[in-house]
Structure 1
Amino acid sequence: MKRLIYTICLLVACLSTAGAKVLTEHKTRLTDNWLYLRGDIGNIWEAVRPASPGTSESVPLWTPVTLPHCFNATDAVDPDLNYYQGPGWYKTLLDINNPYPNGRILLDFEGAGQKTEVYIYTTLVATHTGGYDEWTADITEAVQAFAATPECAKRFGGKIPLSIRCNNSRDAEMIPSDLSDFNVYGGLYRYLNLVYVPEVSIERIQIDANPDKELKKGTLSVHAFFYNPADVRKATANIIIKDPSGKVILSEEKEVLPLGKAALLATTVRKPELWSDEHPQLYTCEVRLKHNNQEQKAVERFGFRRFEFIEKGPFMLNGSRLLLRGTHRHEDHAGVGAAMTESQMRQEMTLMKQMGVNFIRLGHYQQSGIILSLCDELGILVWEEIPWCRGGLGGERYQAQAKRMLESMIHTHYNHPAIIIWGLGNENDWPNDFPEFDKGKIRTFMKELHDLAHQLDDNRVTAIRRCDFCKDIVDVYSPSIWAGWYRGIFTDYKNASYHEMQQVKHFFHAEWGGDCHARRHAEDPFINLDKIEAGKGTDERAGDASLYGGSARASKDGDWSESYMVRLIDWHLKEQETMDWLTGSAYWPFKDFSTPVRPENPVPYVNQKGVVERDLTPKETYYVFQSYWTKKPMIHIYGHTWPVRWGKADEQKEILVYSNCPQVELLVNGVSQGMKKRNSQDYPAAGLHWKCRLQAGENTVIARSKGKEEVADTLRFVYETRTWGTPARLQTKVTSCGTDLSLVEVQIVDTQGIPCLNAKNFIEFGLTGNGKLIENQGTSIGSRKVQAYNGRAAIRVNKRNGESIVSVRCDIPQIKTTFISIK
């Protein structure tokens, strides 16, 4: 009977999880010594059963991996496949060494997609639905029970077998919708931590730091929430507050009842050092919880800042107007999918800040706490949202998940001063997951989310993007404005924005821009766009993202060149400088990302609107933003990935220079083209544009600033004056680019060998032999199938100390496949 009661209690404890990160110093990332199986197993016994002696009964085969790991690291951008959606298993052995007598053993998941089951040996200890929450599983009793068995010592050498099943199968009653314009990834794609805490511990700390209107003093309150399965009734808390320099400005000790929510501190800080985009000052709160001669140290950072969205007016931070200069981020990267390392995240966010960003919308789900901490450090304000994205509104399970994720997001990320907006949804006017699409029910649920957000955190505001019939519910609204891409022309932007601003109390413009195929350039970027109607609306409508049918639009009829996109962005940025009522905008997105709904894009299955490629290689558009948004002197001549320009021998060609310097001189082949002064309203390139005659063949262009800090940029390219004919064959070149790497380049040429510089045909690479194509990266030179950029395409090959034959095929039937030997 006692055994039955214990089993029931264990099962109940195992299936409960805490929806917050764990704050403790005894925390270890479990990155190594994992095995992975793509697919399912018959039962949990298959994950832990021993192989019969003298046999090879190790089927199915498991693959060694390190964490974080994503099911879809490569198949999300495989041009020939639908990405995998289904179960996958991970297993490892835990070496348990808890420093706390009677303490708890926890697994801290920073995120796992999308449904997760956790097993200790054959015992199910936790389940979770939601791929973007940070959550915790208590494995204490299960570990203790298995450690007491002979099997533990005999077969596993005292270690504890941990098995985890992740599942990203399609499920209409789970958010986000599979209609979303991003992959719903699977796997342990964020860090997993082994955590030890005492028998009573701090689960989370809630810090409220609010300066007064005069910014001369700030109120500071600290509350703690406890994890206390032992029902301890008395503990001591030592609270230490440090200023941004690390100096202790307050230290208090008090007895606490560690049940539920406890007030630890309420005080006033005189002349607080304010957190801002340019000076992100961070204070530290350290709480030491003591009980029964055990101590847990929990540390959180926070900041004092005051913000306000003025009704039909600008955004204010710490009493001054701040134009929010923003972008968006998807958790997605070449070669790893969602499984980005902390180093990769820091590289991405630093590159973003160096572009001049002071705001980011995390689309369309809550993201790693590492990203939020980097935003705190770098001074990037944040709109973070739950993944209620497209498809309509599901039933009770669906709605419960959305509310649970909103609560988890706010609880987990409450203390980050960077966050100013809780996002409740995206494109919730998009139907088709369910037979019913009831706007009234969507409004009701949106109001429930709005009220819940303010109940949990009334110091921040709520927002949604693109759901006009709910725009009166949230605090901040962003309509759909895609001037010059999905509808209209980009000169419509200012009027369209002003009109939309008048419809709501607080306006923000999230998502604008358009796709550009990296390395594709155009002498006339507006070709085929003359039929687009101006002044007929700028919103994205059903079918606008399609490459076929419908009204004329740049997304369908344009050339997807970097040449067009720099002009579109340039226009938006120069207009934003004159819109004194504008809170801000966020360009969509910072980085190209994979998507299942765009298989026919120039890089298949990639949304190519980023200002950097999926591996963080900057496109030309990156430097346009820098020229408007940064203070450190910079200069960049347009066209660093444009090796061959073309035109008539006596034709004047436009040269654009993007710079934030007051004056720039241009030299073409050693001859000065004159000095020009920067003027943001002198479009394009803020006045730094020249019409120049180029010489046939090689040209060298130098741009240099004049002033206190001189910077310069040099560009070399070929000017082609010959007229090419019909594409006839492929011309290839192999270049060594490292000890064991080669770059294979191909150019489509006519019968005379003249490059066809406007060719956009698909090129497909193949390989047989020892080597391996560096493919499925979702980049312009990292896909085995890619649309040509000015008749060119390229891919890298890892030779792997052997010989290979690379095939290059074009989708023009009369052009023969070319074969290249690589040694």
Structure 2
Amino acid sequence: MIKIRLTGQWEHHRGSLGGPWEVWRQDKLQNHYNVPWHAVELPHTYNGLDVLDPDGKYYQGQGWYRTKLQADNPYPQGRTLLHFEGAGQRTDVYVYTNKVGSHLGGYDEFTVDITEAAAEARGIERYQGLIPVAVACDNSRELETIPSDASDFNLYGGIYRYLNLVYVPAVSLERVHVEPKLSDDHSSCRVAVRAVLYNPENLQDEVTLKVVIRNREGQELAQFQLREKPWTGMKELAVTELANPTLWTTDEPYLYSCEVVLESAYGRTEQVERFGARSFEFVKSGPFKLNGERLLLRGTHRHEDHAGVGPAMTEEMIRTEMQLIKDMGANFIRLGHYQQSRIVLDLCDELGILVWEEIPWCRGGLGGEQYKQQCRDMLTAMIEQHYNHPSVILWGLGNENDWECDFDYFDQEEIRKFMKELHELSHKLDPSRLTAIRRCEFCKDIIDVYSPSIWAGWYRGIYTDYEESSRQAFENVDSFFHMEWGADNLATRHVEKTYTGFEFIKSGDGDTDERDGDYLLTGGEPRVSRDGDWSETYFCEMIDWYLKSQEKMDWLTGAAQWAFKDFATPVRPDSPIPYLNMKGIIERDFTKKEAYYVYQSYWTTKPMARIYGHTMPVRWGAEGELKSFKVYSNCTEAELFLNGVSLGVKRRDSQNFPAAGLRWESALKPGMNQVKVVATKDGVTVTDELSFEYQTEAWGQPAELKLNSKKQEDGNILVEAVAYDASGVRCLDALNFVRFGVTGDGKLIDRQGTVRGSSLIQLTNGRARIVIDPVGGAAASVPVTGFVSAGGPAASLAASGTKHEPVSIVSVASAGLPTAFLTI
């Protein structure tokens, strides 16, 4: 088998066409009926930016891709395939105008055989032997498909995972499954190897197969050879016993390999699959065990979503994200709410991260037969395609299936009936793993592992309710696993005193489940999500409480925070950054928030220490007022220095909330202050330090915005807007929405879903920032004339054809405040 990633030489048109002929007609009818195309690299989505346009709904419709392939299959009678690792949400594939395949579903892999169509297209003289390929993707709204548009994530369109050109012999391996099963005492592991052939011509020439099992070091442990007539369906090829296997664990994820080689008169193909020897158990009314030992599952969640590119993340981006998750100390991840890239699963195997992966039956209700069949198909594809990954322990069958929305009927019994069907299908396809769902109380008795909705301290209740709520839920099911908890937090927003809602919010009765509408910022009962400050400060305190509580909950299987990274969503237009779910531990561009280090302080062993407030350049209060300093660290003890003077040594105690006892109080001097911590663990010393300004001047209501700028190393310019009152004092708690604009040569780098990449955003501690590309605007190659400069008349920068230095006028506006301008 030969596999080639097709990343370059693609063109894209966002919009509908009358059919595939319109992709190519301008090649024949030159200068007529031109369709606008622009060059792109795969992976690509046509919703990379517009999902975060603050002024409009993102595009849902058709998008076309085209290329001309150099296809040279070296195998006699070989098959030429296009292998899609994921494209959304409906995909039609054409060779010239010949439709060669279709796929429904935005998240599972699929393959299209283009052999005969490519041979035919090769004869089109104007393409000189190249193969014209067109792909139509469509993410239009359709009720009878999953996921629902009521889901808290965007339904992206495009070829947003890798696309591969694959050459295989006429008879080849299509899929290999490796099933390892440990003995009860873990002294041996039975390994069964099965395979499916790809043989579209139904050829019957005998084939030779070789199966080789190797350990991680490459040493051969077992080999089998056999000759067979081609078969249909899944066939067992070999069974062997591994004595004293090295177990796969989250700390030491040991991987074996299984190589299957098929040779025939038509050529040779091989497939290498990795596998791990491990067992797991959700103890009935008890904890989780991996390889017979209790393991507290410490987890997070992942959406395929990134600044500027949406789900079209490169392999390098995915690797960066997964390493950040592991470095934070996580040993578990739920892939919400759909099958994700094979790269993600490979990395979970390598890094030691256990997985709950699910199909996108998410909210909305239950549709008709087409709807159900798509659920069946996607569940089957997910299990078959990710069967060999030792990291996977749970197949998710749905999420929030109690959320009525898409249909004018909602039948709980029908949902129960279909959930039972999916549960049985999952166990038929893969008896070795368990099924799970989150938040559908009337189905919790059907599946193996259940997560109720517990959002203590955000959507309902207060965060000190967490343990009681979890215990009540634990006692109502056989296998409890807490998925989704956390709080929205706008990066770089900090407060001196957090809003907790303890005085106003009903608490103490275990009533902490999220309900429909709780995510809205108006209406309903008092709740932190509606009335709180959405600060990193509160988020860190809440996490701190949850994590210190989990350490003592010896019955707990585990819990996973929602979600690792901020992500775009169509259902949150009123967020401080519109259309952003900002519950992330990191920003959408991998920038770490303070919460990242809170997790490290509980979950990692490598010595670390982090003083809270690195992105808080100004603190405030009265002169002489005692201020708190918190250090998040896993070290045994730490000493804090303020302006060079020791504030004493503290010993870490995880149950001493907050900050595990690593907190100090002292007065600050007006102006600049410096804080440093020196922490030790097992003879290793680590340090951290930061500087900040202390403002003692009180302020009134914001009266004006002022702009300043700073050139960045990459040549871009960071522009900052700061709110001041009528006396010129910074308003450090101002929450105004501000909007940036630019006129001239420059371009806002916006719609990124970050605090430096959003043209409409709430102030964080009285400031907002955005990055400007000084030469990237539409006018970059055209002289700018007749624009208004700050405080002056229209100015003309250049006459036609005259070169000039790039100049832009940046503006920032907020309701009730005068617009500010800055020339850069």
TM-score, normalization by structure 1:
0.95
1:665 paired with 2:639, answer yes
Residue 195 of structure 2 is matched in structure 1 by 224
Paired residue for 1:376?
Answer: 349
Instruction: Give SS of 1:427's match.
Output: strand
Following superposition, the deviation at residue 363 of structure 1 comes to 0.1
Select which of 428, 435, 440 maps to 2:408: 435
The superposition leaves residues 530-551 of structure 1 with CA deviations (integer Å, 9 ceiling, x where unpaired) of 3111124100012110000111
Within 5 Å, give how 1:434-453 maps onto structure 2.
434-453=407-426
Asked if the contact 2:673–2:693 (Cα under 8 Å) also holds between the matched residues in 1, the reply is yes
Aligned to 1:456: 429
SS at 2:362 equivalent: coil
Give 2:100's aligned residue: 125
1:287 corresponds, among 260, 263, 268, to 260
Q: Any conservation in 1 of the 2:607–2:680 contact (CA below 8 Å)?
A: no
Kindly tell me: are residues 785 and 290 of structure 1, through their superposed partners in 2, closer, same or farther at Cα, counting changes over 3 Å?
Answer: same
Aligned-pair CA distance for 1:300: 0.8
Cα distance in 2 for partners of 1:390, 1:334 equals 26
- For the 8 Å contact 1:38–1:89, the answer to whether it is kept is yes
CA 1:219 to 1:552, structure 2 compared with 1: closer, same or farther past 3 Å? Answer: same
1:756 is aligned to 731
2:279 is matched with: 306
SS of the aligned residue for 2:247 comes to coil
Deviation at 1:90, TM superposition (A): 0.2
Give the C-alpha shift of residue 529 in structure 1: 5.5
Matched, 1:27 2:29: no
| 8 Å Cα contact 2:455-2:486 kept in structure 1 | yes
1:179 aligns with 2:181: no
762-771 vs 503-512, which moves further:
762-771
In structure 2, the CA distance between the partners of 1:697 and 1:528, relative to structure 1 (3 Å rule), is farther
**Farther off after superposition, 717-726 or 803-812:** 803-812
- The alpha-carbon deviation at position 753 of structure 1 amounts to 1.5
> Which of 169, 182, 187 is matched with 2:140 structurally?
169
For each residue in 1:457-500, what CA deviation from the matched residue of structure 2 results, as whole angstroms up to 9, or x when unmatched? 01000000000000000000000000000000000000000000
Amino acid at match of 1:631: T
Distance in 2 between residues matched to 1:88 and 1:739, nearest whole Å: 32
Structural mapping, 1:98-497, within 5 Å: 98-147=73-122, 149=123, 151=124, 154-233=125-204, 234-259=206-231, 260-292=233-265, 294-497=267-470
Is contact 2:735-2:765 (8 Å) kept? yes
Shift of 1:810: 3.3
Alignment of 1:580-619 (within 5 A): 580-619=554-593
2:462–2:501 CA contact under 8 A, matched in 1:
no
Q: Displacement of 1:527 after TM fit?
A: 6.3
**What's the CA shift for 1:193?**
0.3
Question: Aligned-pair distance for 1:297?
Answer: 1.2
Letter matched to residue 395 of structure 2: W
Q: Which runs of 5+ in 2 are unaligned?
A: 781-804
Asked if the contact 2:76/2:266 (under 8 Å) is kept, the reply is: no
Q: Please tell me the residue identity of whatever aligns with 2:20.
A: I
CA distance in 2, matches of 1:651, 1:788: 26
Out of 667, 671, 685, the residue aligned to residue 693 of structure 1 is 667
Q: Is the 8 A contact 1:767 1:804 kept in 2?
A: no
Letter of the structure 1 residue corresponding to residue 673 of structure 2: N
- Kindly state the Cα deviation for residue 799 of structure 1 after the two structures are TM-superposed: 1.1
SS in structure 1 at match of 2:346: helix
- Alpha-carbon contact 1:763-1:808 (below 8 Å) kept: no
Q: Specify which of 486, 494, 519 is matched with residue 545 of structure 1.
A: 519
Letter in 2 for 1:784: S
Q: Give the letter aligned to residue 216 of structure 2.
A: P
**For residue 808 of structure 1, what is the aligned residue in structure 2?**
811
Counterpart code for 2:11? L
Residue-pair matches, total? 792
Shift in Å, 1:257: 3.1
CA deviation after TM superposition for structure 1 residue 807, in Å: 3.3
What is the distance in 2 between the residues matched to 1:810 and 1:485?
Answer: 31
Cα deviation code 1:301-344 (max 9, x no counterpart): 11100100001111000111100000000000001001000000
The question of whether the paired residues in 2 share the 8 Å contact of 1:761 and 1:810 is answered with no
Displacement of 1:739 in angstroms is 4.4
Q: Partner letter of residue 40 of structure 1? A: S
Question: Is the partner of 2:177 in helix, strand or coil?
Answer: strand
Query: Contact between 2:642 and 2:674, CA under 8 Å: does it hold in 1?
Result: yes
Instruction: Pick one of 52, 65, 79 that aligns with 2:54.
Output: 79
Report the Cα distance in structure 1 between the residues aligned to 2:412 and 2:536, rounded to whole angstroms: 39
Equivalent of 1:560 in 510, 531, 534: 534
| TM superposition shift of 1:75 | 0.4
Does the aligned pair in 2 maintain the 1:392–1:437 contact within 8 Å?
Answer: yes
Kindly indicate whether the alpha-carbon contact (under 8 Å) linking 1:200 and 1:291 is maintained by their aligned counterparts in 2. Answer: yes
Which of 774, 790, 794 matches 2:769?
794
Aligned CA RMSD, in angstroms, stands at 1.1
* 8 Å CA contact 1:614, 1:779 repeated in 2: yes
Shift of 1:528: 5.9
Structure 1 letter corresponding to 2:221: I
Percent identical pairs in the alignment equals 54
Per-residue Cα deviation, 1:277-310 (whole angstroms, up to 9, x for no partner): 0000011111110000611011111110010000
What SS does structure 1 have at the residue aligned with 2:285? coil
Give me the whole-angstrom Cα distance separating, in 1, the residues matched to 2:228 and 2:685. Answer: 61
How big is the shift at 1:114? Answer: 0.3
**Residues 686-745 of structure 1: CA distance to partner in whole angstroms, max 9, x if unpaired?**
110111111111000001113411000001001111101121111221111124211101
Alignment-mate amino acid for residue 169 of structure 2: P
Partner of 1:652: 626
Q: Work out whether residues 314 and 581 of structure 1, in 8 Å CA contact, stay in contact via their aligned partners in 2.
A: yes
Which residue identity is paired with 1:235?
V
Asked if 1:727 corresponds to 2:702, the answer is: yes
User: Relative to structure 2, which stretch is displaced further, 525-534 or 648-657?
Assistant: 525-534
Provide structure 1 residue ranges, at least 5 long, that are not aligned to the other structure.
Answer: 1-23
Other structure's SS at 1:710 match: strand
2:77–2:266 CA contact under 8 A, matched in 1: no
> CA, structure 1 residues 529+763, in 2 after alignment: closer, same or farther (shift >3 Å)?
farther
Does structure 2 retain, via aligned residues, the 8 Å contact 1:345–1:371? yes
Deviation at 1:201, TM superposition (A): 0.7
Match of 2:616? 642
Which digits, 9 at most, give the CA deviation of each residue in 1:638-680, with x for residues without a partner? Answer: 0000011111111111111000000000001111010000000
Aligned residue number for residue 740 of structure 2: 765
Q: Which amino acid letter does the alignment assign opposite residue 38 of structure 2?
A: T
Q: 1:769 deviation in Å?
A: 1.1
1:228 corresponds to which letter in structure 2?
N
Q: How big is the shift at 1:212?
A: 1.0
Match for residue 624 of structure 1?
598
Q: Distance in 2 between matches of 1:311 and 1:427?
A: 23
Structure 2 Cα separation of the partners of residues 419 and 43 of structure 1: 41
2: CA distance, partners of 1:179 / 1:223 = 40
- Which amino acid in structure 2 is aligned with residue 803 of structure 1? P
The range that moved more, 748-757 or 435-444, is 748-757
Supply the distance in 2 between the matched residues of 1:218 and 1:51 (Cα, whole angstroms).
Answer: 60
Aligned equivalents of 2:458, 2:257: Cα separation in 1 = 45
Which of 37, 40, 45 matches 2:13? 37
Distance 1:91 1:52 in 2: 16
Kept in 2, the 8 Å contact 1:242–1:250? The answer is yes
After superposition, give the CA deviation of every residue in 1:17-56 in whole Å (9 maximum; x if it has no partner).
xxxxxxx4x0001100001000011121111124467x63
CA contact 1:529–1:554 (8 Å) conserved in 2:
no
307-316 vs 531-540, greater mean Cα deviation? 531-540
